[in-house]
């Protein structure tokens, strides 16, 4: 390679990227090198000898000059796809250069070029990004070995590439950013031409010294970009569309940033690699031109799903209107793009279990609204901590992979990549099989496994048949013969799945090498094969049983949970249990001897430790599938075990409301990976023209079978008879050595929701500090759209340094925060105060910059989530909170300060008088404000808050002191404890979420239950249409009242079974009581008739004067003494006892009055306690504790009188059904009459005897 100094002896130094292109050309013209045509033209900045038209289009010519004149060597460096795009764009611009009107910006010309498909190469570059990255990473690693100082940037690039590949996101905007990141890193490949890291440039500076700081900054830029992309990728499709402009502006900054870094690399390297000034300047211009193109097309890069949804948003009035329309948001959440609907058609509408993040639609309205109203800056800051843990975990995994390349004894050394297919196989046994079978680069999986089995059998037979003197060597060690028992035709499917990870039905050379090199150190290939043949199923069975057991313990501990934590615990179980149970019930377990399990113990324990260390690294907070580790059930067990310890803590300690939600979200990301795997397999089976249902019943021990038919599996008709594991919680058997400090990610909450305020007073440091800013401040923050936040109250104290201040306080929602601030004196003598508000929970920091007004009573300024971007205002005053609430909105002061001050004074004085007099109007106003605020808080918790509601809450917050708003939040917390919601259950009549009592119809519903709130109008309604309704629901159907929230899919089957059994018991007791009552009445009438003088009967025994026994119409003989038929023995067992027994008194548990229909029966109390409750007591008290057994949370069934018209049914029923119902009623009536007749006959016989 020619010497740098020899090649560029007379070449001037390149101009840095910040220098203007025309200035660079002028600098080149003054050097000893000959002037080029470009530099000569650049030396005439005035252009007086050119005509006006040419002068008008010179800026455009200059913008693309570098692109059109690039040399082949530069073309190899630049992205060929983008170069073609720029050439086409240049042609478009050149075709319109004859008009002065076309002398506009490059951006305006690129947009129509993009619309006319001239930017297709850019799109191709994004689509083929993944193909170009592996080669680039390999080349960068080689360069990093020569120049270690770039390793930090290369390492960061490798980590974010791995995270992006694992995410498999299809967002083109993220792809474009990675294309720019890739192009930036490609610039470092020029270092391959510098073999000496200590190479000194013409200015005496080494390449390392010149670039080291730049490389470090690049690594931070890559990490920051990855965090932004990670945050953006997690957003739901609807959020991406509505908030697209905000996110576009943030993401576009990285295009500029990476372009500047690339220009800096190019400039620095051009000094050392011998690139002339003209070539360097061409490269810089080329980068600038490309950036203009990309910035122009960036907002237009949308996926088909985003384009389709964006059109719907515009149709409904645009993003701003949609954000304030709750109904529109609900409708848009149900959006399914055409591509997804097309997939539904091809799959028959069966998608398996849904993903929890709702990428294409769906999702929780409250969560979507939170994302919409959360600024990108805030979202990125919230995501940073989790992303850093994820980044560190991926970096650790890459380092582990580099150090974990195991060279197994006996492995072959591949001599040439160009050898035959068998020569590329590392394992000698499989190499020999592949060679003998003369297979190409792939083979059918079934044939491969059968050949492998025959090979090892042949090895055993050869060893056994050989004599001791033959010295025959076998590839099978004596200690591995046990493994051959499991390498058989019965285990064919399991072994095939171990090799054929993509379920294509073929095994390739690459798959074979990956399988054999991944086996644990010290394990032979037969040992590894045996693990996947039977060991994996054994291990999964073990962890599956542990998962089932710990889930059962979670439900067993649920009654012991502190009431303040019950909502968080129920929400957690509602989120994760159903999907986990789908997997545990679907998996086919196996029971094998412990001796076999011991053969795989070392590997299983090592993998569990690896999983545990990874989870501890990310603090058990997985927020995307890209941090998902292998081994599903072991991973679930580790996550659930930690969450169970939090459940134990929840018995006596209040936890942060987001603690268990983060835990649930982590498990949902794991289950999303299961869903992704299922969907991939489903598509592959259909591509192979196989029935997915039958394939899933044999794949992976049927792990995905129920997942595939998720909705059908969880239909109500299947749940009615299904039982789940139940255990008793025994705290003595649990681990009492758990370190609580390492268990929680959030600080614990206070047990008392409304602790007494501790009076804050001045400290020793306050005496030496500036009087102007310390002491108590009350104020408000105004955010976007003039929304006022609840009042903030804090006491600023001086620190040891009198120029700094700090405060600790609590927000209106109960979250603690700290404030740190200082003041600086500007050049003009003014004093500026800056503060940082930091919450103890995972809430973004806020930054305030303020000035103190002359009266030292007002601290005002701007605030935001970024220190350099503070778009909103705040005002803090030293006046009392009761006076501050009367202050008009700051925008009224901006419009007319005098008018606002008069309004302030009049309102403050008037309300002060009203407070002193305890005016009824003043008290009523406070009451109404409290009620309205609580209603808004309830709507917020249900995710039903609209834009109008937000504005109204802002107005109420401005009129309320900090203590009042804090009280409102506390009332809401207590109300949730007293009347918890039934998660995900809405009334089928009024469509509102159900709180308190949930009324469930016991007769209707095939797919899901019919549920109603306890309002009379809803319980008494008739429903005639629902997709799983076979006949109309009518108010007289049997129902059960569910008082305490249940996990629907786990407990509804048991609830309905218990309710049905309880209703049968109740009907039996009520029928028996009614029967005895009627029998006593008949006996009384009979006794009164027998006490007469025989006026109605003749002396001869009858009115007809006949002798002997008479017969009734049916020919049954009657007694001449009584006129009744003789008793039938089967109906009367003990007449004397029947007569002597008193009528049982079934009384209400509460008021002790005699029960009559309609009434309620407790299905949870012991049977022998006859737990009836009258209708009036239940309506009056809505649940109560009574006696030793009955609790207010017990479930109740209704016992109704059956009317004739209800038995016969509606006019729509068939005649056969009506006759059948009538016949059943007559049979019951005939049985009752037969019993009464028998008792009367027994009495008559007793009297004549």
Mean pLDDT of the region 525-550: 94
Residue 313 and residue 241 in contact, taking contact as beta carbons nearer than 8 Å: yes
Q: Which of 733, 762, 795 is the last residue of a domain?
A: 733
Can you give the pLDDT at residue 317?
81
pLDDT at 1247: 61
Per the DSSP assignment, residues forming a β-bridge with 1197 are 1040, 1161
Tell me which of 62-76, 217-231, 235-249, 546-560 is least confident. 62-76
Give the tens place of pLDDT for each residue, 302-340: 667 777 777 888 887 887 777 767 777 777 777 766 544
121, part of any domain: yes
CA-nearest of 1133, 1124, 1132, 1166 to 1149 is: 1166
Q: State the pLDDT at residue 38.
A: 34
Q: Give the C-alpha separation, 575 to 965, whole Å.
A: 31
Between residues 1110 and 1067, the one the model is more confident about? 1067
Q: How far is CA 779 from the centre of its chain?
A: 36
Cβ within 8 Å of residue 1169, ≥6 positions away: 1187, 1189, 1190
pLDDT classification of 951: cutoffs 50, 70, 90: confident
- Per DSSP, the three-state class of 304 is helix
Domain identity same for 102 and 115:
yes
Token pair of 955, please?
């107005």
In whole angstroms, how far apart are CA 878 and each of 860, 884, 916?
12, 9, 21
Closest by alpha carbon to 938, among 962, 974, 964, 963? 974
Q: Do 858 and 961 have their domain in common?
A: yes
Would you state the pLDDT for residue 322?
76
Number of domains making up the chain: 6
Among residues 1040, 1006, 1003, 1042, which one has the least CA distance to residue 1026? 1006
Q: Are residues 772 and 839 in the same domain?
A: yes
Give the integer Cα–Cα distance in Å for 110 and 90: 9
- By mean pLDDT, which of 231-235, 495-499, 514-518, 876-880 is the weakest? 231-235
Please compute Rg for the chain using Cα positions. 41
Spell out the SS3 assignment of 148-192.
HHHHHHHHHHHHHHHHHHHHCCCCHHHHHHHHHHHHHHHHHHHHH
Is 948 within the bounds of a domain? Answer: yes
Domain end call among 302, 328, 353: 302
Q: Which of 374-383, 541-550, 1001-1010 has the lowest mean pLDDT?
A: 374-383
Query: Rounded to the nearest 10 degrees, what angle do helices 304-315 and 338-347 cross at?
Result: 120
Range of the domain at 1009: 982-1037
C-alpha closest to that of 957 among 940, 977, 981, 975:
940
The predicted model scores a pTM of: 0.64
Residue 788 inside a domain? The answer is yes
Assign 141 a pLDDT band (cuts: 50, 70, 90). Answer: confident
In a domain, 728, yes or no: yes
Confidence at 629, pLDDT banded by 50, 70, 90: very low
Check residue 938 and give its pLDDT: 81
Q: Are residues 448 and 537 in the same domain?
A: no
Q: Is the dihedral of CA 1222, 1225, 1231, 1236 positive or negative?
A: negative
Predicted confidence (pLDDT) at residue 31 exceeds the cutoff of 70: no
Cβ-contact 472, 462 below 8 angstroms: yes
Q: Is residue 913 part of a domain?
A: no
pLDDT of residue 948: 87
Query: If you average pLDDT over residues 997-1011, what whole number do you get?
Result: 92
Work out the pLDDT band at 291, boundaries 50, 70, 90.
low
Query: HEC states along 102-152?
Result: HCCCHHHHHHHHHHCCCCHHHHHHHHCHHHHHHHHHHHHHHHHHHCHHHHH
Mean pLDDT of the 26-37 span: 37
pLDDT per residue as tens digits for the range 1141-1170: 554 578 999 999 988 888 999 999 998 888
357 inside domain: no
975 with 982: CB under 8 angstroms?
no
Give domain status of residue 164, yes or no.
yes
* 593 and 719 inside one domain: yes
Dihedral angle at the C-alpha atoms of 923, 925, 927, 929, nearest 10 degrees?
Answer: -150
The predicted pLDDT at position 724 comes to 92
User: Residues 1086, 1201: one domain?
Assistant: yes
For residue 358, is it within any domain? no
1246 vs 1222: CA distance, rounded Å: 36
- Distance in angstroms (rounded) separating the CA atoms of residues 430 and 451: 10
* One domain for residues 1061 and 1182: yes
236, 269, 302 - which closes a domain: 302
Both 126 and 147 in a single domain? Answer: yes
Q: What span, in angstroms and rounded, lies between the C-alpha atoms of 387 and 1056?
A: 45
**1018 and 1054 belong to one structural domain:** no
Residues 588 and 512 in one domain: no
Torsion of CA 864, 866, 870, 873, to 10 degrees: 20
Q: Is the pLDDT of residue 18 over 60?
A: no
* pLDDT tens-digit series, residues 962-997: 888 888 888 887 777 777 788 888 899 988 888 889
pLDDT confidence tier of residue 1011, bands split at 50, 70 and 90: very high
The verdict on 965 and 991 lying in the same domain is no
Angle between helices 52-68 and 106-115 (to 10 degrees): 60
- Burial (Cβ within 10 Å: 0-12, 13-18, ≥19) of residue 722: middle
Do 756 and 720 lie in one domain? The reply is: no
- Indicate whether 300 pLDDT > 80: no
């Amino acid at each position: 390679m020619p010497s740098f100094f020899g090649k560029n002896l007379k070449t001037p130094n390149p101009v840095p990227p910040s220098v203007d292109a025309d200035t660079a050309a002028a600098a080149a013209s003054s050097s000893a090198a000959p002037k080029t045509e470009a530099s000569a033209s650049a030396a005439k900045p005035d252009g007086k000898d050119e005509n006006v038209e040419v002068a008008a289009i010179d800026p455009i010519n200059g913008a693309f000059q570098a692109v059109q004149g690039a040399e082949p060597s530069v073309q190899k460096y630049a992205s060929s796809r983008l170069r073609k795009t720029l050439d086409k764009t240049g042609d478009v611009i050149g075709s319109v250069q004859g008009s002065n009107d076309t002398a506009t910006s490059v951006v305006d010309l690129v947009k129509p070029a993009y619309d006319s498909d001239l930017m297709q190469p850019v799109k191709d570059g994004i689509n083929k990004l993944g193909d170009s990255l592996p080669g680039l990473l390999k080349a960068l690693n080689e360069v990093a070995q020569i120049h270690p100082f770039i390793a930090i940037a290369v390492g960061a690039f490798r980590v974010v590439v791995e995270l992006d590949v694992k995410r498999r996101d299809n967002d083109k905007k993220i792809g474009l950013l990675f294309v720019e990141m890739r192009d930036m890193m490609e610039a470092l490949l020029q270092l391959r031409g510098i073999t000496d890291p200590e190479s000194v440039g013409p200015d005496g500076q080494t390449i390392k010294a010149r670039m080291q700081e730049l490389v470090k900054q690049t690594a931070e830029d890559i990490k920051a970009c990855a965090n932004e992309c990670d945050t953006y990728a997690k957003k739901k499709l609807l959020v991406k569309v509505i908030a697209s402009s905000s996110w576009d502006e943030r993401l576009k900054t990285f295009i500029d940033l990476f372009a500047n870094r690339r220009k800096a690399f190019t400039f620095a390297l051009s000094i050392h690699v011998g690139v002339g000034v003209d070539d360097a300047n061409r490269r810089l211009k080329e980068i600038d031109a490309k950036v203009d193109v990309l910035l122009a097309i960036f907002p237009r890069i949308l996926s088909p799903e985003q384009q389709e949804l964006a059109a719907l948003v515009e149709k409904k009035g645009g993003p701003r209107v949609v954000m304030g329309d709750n109904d529109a948001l609900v409708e848009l959440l149900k959006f399914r793009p055409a591509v997804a609907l097309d997939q539904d058609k091809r799959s028959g509408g069966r998608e398996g279990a849904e993903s929890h993040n709702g990428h294409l639609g769906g999702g929780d309205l409250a969560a979507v609204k939170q994302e919409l109203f959360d600024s990108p800056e805030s979202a990125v800051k919230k995501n940073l901590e989790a992303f850093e843990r994820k980044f560190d975990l991926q970096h650790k995994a890459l380092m582990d992979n580099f150090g974990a390349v195991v060279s197994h004894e006996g492995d072959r050394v591949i001599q040439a990549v160009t050898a035959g297919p068998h020569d590329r196989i590392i394992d000698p046994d499989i190499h020999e099989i592949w060679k003998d079978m003369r297979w190409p680069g792939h083979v059918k999986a079934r044939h491969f496994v059968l050949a492998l089995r025959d090979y090892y059998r042949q090895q055993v037979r050869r060893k056994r048949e050989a004599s001791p003197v033959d010295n025959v060597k076998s590839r099978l060690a004596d200690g591995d013969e046990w493994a051959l028992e499991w390498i058989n035709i019965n285990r064919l499917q399991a072994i095939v799945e171990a090799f054929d990870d993509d379920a294509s039905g073929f095994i390739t050379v690459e798959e074979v090498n990956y399988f054999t090199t991944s086996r644990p150190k010290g394990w032979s290939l037969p040992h590894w094969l045996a693990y996947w043949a039977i060991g994996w199923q054994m291990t999964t069975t073990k962890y599956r049983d542990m998962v089932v057991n710990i889930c059962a313990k979670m439900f067993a501990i649920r009654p012991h949970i502190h009431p303040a934590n019950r909502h968080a615990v129920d929400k957690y179980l509602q989120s994760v249990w159903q999907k986990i149970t789908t997997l545990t019930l679907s998996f086919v377990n196996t029971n094998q001897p412990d001796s076999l399990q011991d053969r795989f113990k070392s590997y299983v324990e090592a993998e569990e430790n690896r999983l545990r260390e990874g989870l501890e690294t990310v603090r058990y907070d997985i927020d995307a599938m890209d941090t998902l580790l292998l081994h599903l059930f072991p991973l679930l067990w580790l996550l659930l075990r930690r969450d169970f310890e939090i459940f134990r803590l929840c018995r006596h300690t209040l936890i942060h409301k987001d603690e268990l939600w983060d835990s649930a979200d982590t498990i949902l990301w794991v289950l999303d990976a299961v869903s992704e795997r299922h969907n991939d397999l489903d598509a592959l089976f259909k591509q192979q023209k196989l029935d997915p249902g039958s394939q899933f019943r044999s794949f992976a021990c049927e792990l995905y079978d129920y997942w595939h038919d998720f909705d059908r599996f969880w239909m109500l008709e299947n749940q009615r008879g299904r039982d789940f594991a139940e255990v008793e919680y025994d705290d003595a058997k649990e681990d009492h050595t758990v370190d609580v400090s390492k268990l929680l990610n959030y600080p614990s909450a206070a047990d008392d929701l409304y602790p007494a305020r501790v009076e804050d007073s001045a400290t020793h440091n306050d005496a030496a500090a500036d009087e102007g800013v310390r002491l108590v401040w009350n104020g408000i923050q105004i955010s976007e759209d003039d929304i006022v936040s609840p009042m903030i109250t804090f006491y600023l104290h001086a620190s040891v340094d009198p120029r700094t201040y700090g405060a600790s306080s609590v927000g209106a929602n109960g979250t603690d925060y700290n404030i740190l601030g200082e003041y600086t004196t500007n050049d003009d003598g003014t004093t500026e105060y800056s503060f940082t508000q930091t919450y103890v929970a995972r809430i973004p920091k806020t930054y305030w910059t303020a000035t103190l007004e002359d009266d030292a009573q007002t601290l005002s300024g701007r605030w935001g989530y970024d220190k350099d971007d503070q778009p909103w205002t705040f005002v803090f005053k030293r006046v009392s909170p009761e006076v501050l609430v009367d202050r008009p909105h700051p925008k009224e002061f901006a419009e007319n300060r005098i008018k606002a001050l008069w309004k302030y004074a009049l309102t403050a004085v008037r309300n002060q008088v009203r407070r002193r007099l305890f005016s009824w109007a003043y008290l009523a106003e406070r009451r109404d404000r409290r009620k309205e605020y609580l209603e808004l808080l309830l709507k917020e918790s249900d995710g039903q808050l609209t834009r109008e509601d937000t504005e109204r809450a802002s107005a109420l917050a401005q009129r309320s002191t900090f203590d009042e708003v804090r009280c409102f939040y506390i009332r809401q917390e207590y109300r949730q404890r007293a009347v918890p919601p039934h998660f995900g259950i809405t009334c089928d009549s009024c469509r509102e979420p159900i709180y308190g009592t949930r009324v469930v119809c016991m007769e209707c519903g095939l797919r899901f239950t019919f549920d109603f709130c306890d309002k009379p109008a809803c319980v008494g309604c008739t429903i005639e249409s629902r997709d799983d309704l076979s006949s109309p629901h009518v108010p007289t159907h049997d129902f059960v009242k569910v008082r305490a929230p249940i996990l629907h899919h786990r407990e509804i089957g048991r609830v309905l079974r218990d309710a049905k059994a309880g209703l049968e018991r109740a009907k039996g007791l009520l029928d028996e009581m009614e029967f005895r009552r009627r029998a006593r009445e008949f006996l009384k009438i009979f006794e009164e008739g027998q006490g007469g003088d025989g006026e109605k009967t003749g002396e001869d025994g009858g009115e007809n004067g006949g002798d002997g026994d008479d017969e009734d119409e049916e020919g049954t003989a009657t007694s001449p003494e009584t006129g009744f038929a003789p008793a039938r023995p089967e109906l009367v067992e003990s007449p004397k006892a029947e007569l002597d027994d008193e009528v049982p008194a079934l009384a209400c548990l509460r008021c002790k009055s005699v029960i009559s229909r309609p009434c309620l029966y407790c299905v949870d109390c012991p049977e022998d306690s006859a737990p009836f409750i009258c209708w009036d007591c239940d309506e009056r008290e809505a649940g109560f504790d009574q006696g030793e057994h009955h609790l207010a949370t017990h479930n109740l069934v209704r016992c109704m009188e059956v009317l004739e018209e209800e038995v016969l049914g509606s006019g729509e029923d068939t005649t056969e059904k009506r006759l059948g119902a009538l016949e059943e009623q007559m049979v019951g009536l005939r049985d009752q009459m037969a019993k009464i007749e028998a008792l009367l006959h027994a009495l008559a016989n007793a009297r004549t005897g």
